Amino acid sequence: MIRFIVSILGLLVFQFQTVAQIFPGLDGAALQMALVDNYKPDFVLSSAGSKDSLYAVVENIDGKVECVYTGYQVTLDLNEDPSQFVFAQNLNQEHVFPRSQGVDNTPAEFDMHHLYPSRVDVNQDRGSLPFGESADNLTNKWFINTSTIGSIPSSNIDGYSELQENVTFEPREDRKGDIARAMFYVYVMYNDLIDQEYFESQVETLCDWHHIDPVDEREWNRNALVATFQDDKPNPFILDCTLASRLFCSAPTEPCMDYSVNTNELDWNNTFSITVLNNGNLAPQLHILNPSKTNLSIQIIDLNGRAGFNNQYLNHSEIHLIPNFDFQLTKGLYFVIVQNQIGQTKAAKLVIP
């Protein structure tokens, strides 16, 4: 039997203390070409698949999906269609790089590295406005949780996103870096498609946000999950903070900070693992080791984000499954999503021959 350990980016590729510089010695056009050659996915999900996978897996933290701009949360019901369910709760899919700026009807439209849940009304108000800093006295709308107000907030001002109508949209402070790195990614990977002037009009602000709001654990883990669905290709701007200054940002006054994984935070990686066992054209098997016997939720979804299997396993140290027979899955590509009781998630690809 040939044994394949699935390359789960959050578990294997990303498990290190510091991030080595990507393509050291390269900058400008040569660096951009190298990034496209090595990090642009050959495969993205369909429209329905990207939406359902975004809500059910990538943005699912402790069973909740959160608006990137306001912090408004919806508790998922995985027995329901994810897209329809969250839309009924006033969430839909935001394209950080707007569809109207060259993304529409291209693979970039479905690339989850720049797709986020958003309140429907906030998504509509932002439209295709460029990102920027909105002076408080010129801001028309302030958004937080379920609220929209028209005057300067008296408290927690950093938790609000801001709209200056027909001029600019400013995300809340703790997601500005996420937005910047998503914009960098689309600009580089889909440079031949997008509106160059649209990006260049806001790149200086995006560079500032990239430096003042560095990658955190949430963004790091999200990057790993998205890559699992997209040809195992992460957003390199999340891996290496120097890429932006080597391409289009001025050098920061202080060295940028890459995300460092605390060794204590890595302990959970040893609590459960997923292995796919293949034997030629015979039925593949799933082998899940769970020595700490944490409660696990196992879901298998197809390319459209539809669940072919969803079950809970309590106090199991090992779980062996044969998806063809146990769940009557048909030929095709699937994703196995395993989540423990505190919301930590791992994913793997499964091919049914």
Using alpha carbons, select from 271, 288, 272 the residue that is nearest to residue 323.
Answer: 288
Do 213 and 70 share a domain, yes or no?
A: yes
Using one digit for the tens of pLDDT, what is the confidence trace for 171-185?
Answer: 999 999 999 999 999
- Domain membership of residue 95 (yes or no) is yes
Q: What is the DSSP-derived secondary structure letter of residue 58? A: I
Average pLDDT for the chain: 84
Do 40 and 151 share a domain, yes or no?
A: yes
Residue 69 is encoded by which pair of tokens? Answer: 């701009």
Do 234 and 275 share a domain, yes or no?
A: no
> How would residue 298 be classed by pLDDT, with cut points 50, 70 and 90?
confident
> How would residue 155 be classed by pLDDT, with cut points 50, 70 and 90?
very high
Do 112 and 83 share a domain, yes or no?
A: yes
> How would residue 301 be classed by pLDDT, with cut points 50, 70 and 90?
confident
pTM of the model: 0.79
Domain boundary among the residues 197, 222, 247 is at: 247
- Domain membership of residue 40 (yes or no) is yes
Do 222 and 268 share a domain, yes or no?
A: no
Domain boundary among the residues 247, 282, 316 is at: 247
For position 280, what pLDDT does the model report? 58
Do 110 and 45 share a domain, yes or no?
A: yes
For position 267, what pLDDT does the model report? 39
Is 77's pLDDT higher than 80? Answer: yes
For position 130, what pLDDT does the model report? 98
> How would residue 259 be classed by pLDDT, with cut points 50, 70 and 90?
confident
Domain boundary among the residues 217, 247, 277 is at: 247
Q: What is the DSSP-derived secondary structure letter of residue 99? A: G
Question: Could you tell me which residues come within 8 angstroms of residue 105 by beta carbon, excluding any fewer than 6 positions away?
Answer: none
CATH number of the domain that residue 328 is part of? 2.60.40.3080
Span between the terminal Cα atoms of the chain, in Å: 16
Do 86 and 132 share a domain, yes or no?
A: yes
Residue 287 is encoded by which pair of tokens? Answer: 């082998």
Lowest average pLDDT, out of 22-31, 142-151, 256-265, goes to 256-265
- Domain membership of residue 72 (yes or no) is yes
Question: Residue 37 belongs to what domain range?
Answer: 23-247
Do 36 and 182 share a domain, yes or no?
A: yes
| Torsion over CA: 134, 55, 112, 217 (sign) | positive
Q: Which residue has the tokens 């027979």?
A: 325
- Domain membership of residue 3 (yes or no) is no
Is 252's pLDDT higher than 90? Answer: no
For position 14, what pLDDT does the model report? 38
- Domain membership of residue 6 (yes or no) is no
Do 212 and 296 share a domain, yes or no?
A: no
Do 216 and 313 share a domain, yes or no?
A: no
Using one digit for the tens of pLDDT, what is the confidence trace for 311-337?
Answer: 788 788 888 877 766 667 777 777 787
- Domain membership of residue 252 (yes or no) is no
> How would residue 200 be classed by pLDDT, with cut points 50, 70 and 90?
very high
Do 107 and 198 share a domain, yes or no?
A: yes
The CA distances from residue 117 to 122, 199, 221, 348, in Å, are 11, 22, 16, 23
| pLDDT > 90 in the chain, percent | 55
Question: Could you tell me which residues come within 8 angstroms of residue 13 by beta carbon, excluding any fewer than 6 positions away?
Answer: 7, 224, 234
Number of domains observed in the structure of the chain: 2
Q: What is the DSSP-derived secondary structure letter of residue 54? A: I
In the chain, % helix, strand, coil (3-state, to 5) comes to 35, 25, 45
For position 57, what pLDDT does the model report? 86
Q: Report, as an integer, the average pLDDT of 238-261.
A: 83
Residue 139 is encoded by which pair of tokens? Answer: 């801001």
| pLDDT > 70 in the chain, percent | 83
- Domain membership of residue 202 (yes or no) is yes
Do 338 and 298 share a domain, yes or no?
A: yes
**Spatial separation of the C-alpha atoms in residues 113 and 115, rounded to whole Å:** 6
Is 300's pLDDT higher than 90? Answer: no
- Bridge-based pairing state of the strands 307-313 and 318-321: unpaired
Q: Please, is 23 exposed, middle or buried when counting C-beta atoms within 10 Å of its C-beta (0-12, 13-18, 19+)?
A: middle
Using alpha carbons, select from 291, 295, 285 the residue that is nearest to residue 324.
Answer: 285
For position 268, what pLDDT does the model report? 37
The residue among 213 and 301 whose pLDDT is bigger is 213
- Domain membership of residue 169 (yes or no) is yes
The CA distances from residue 298 to 49, 65, 309, 312, 320, in Å, are 18, 18, 8, 6, 12
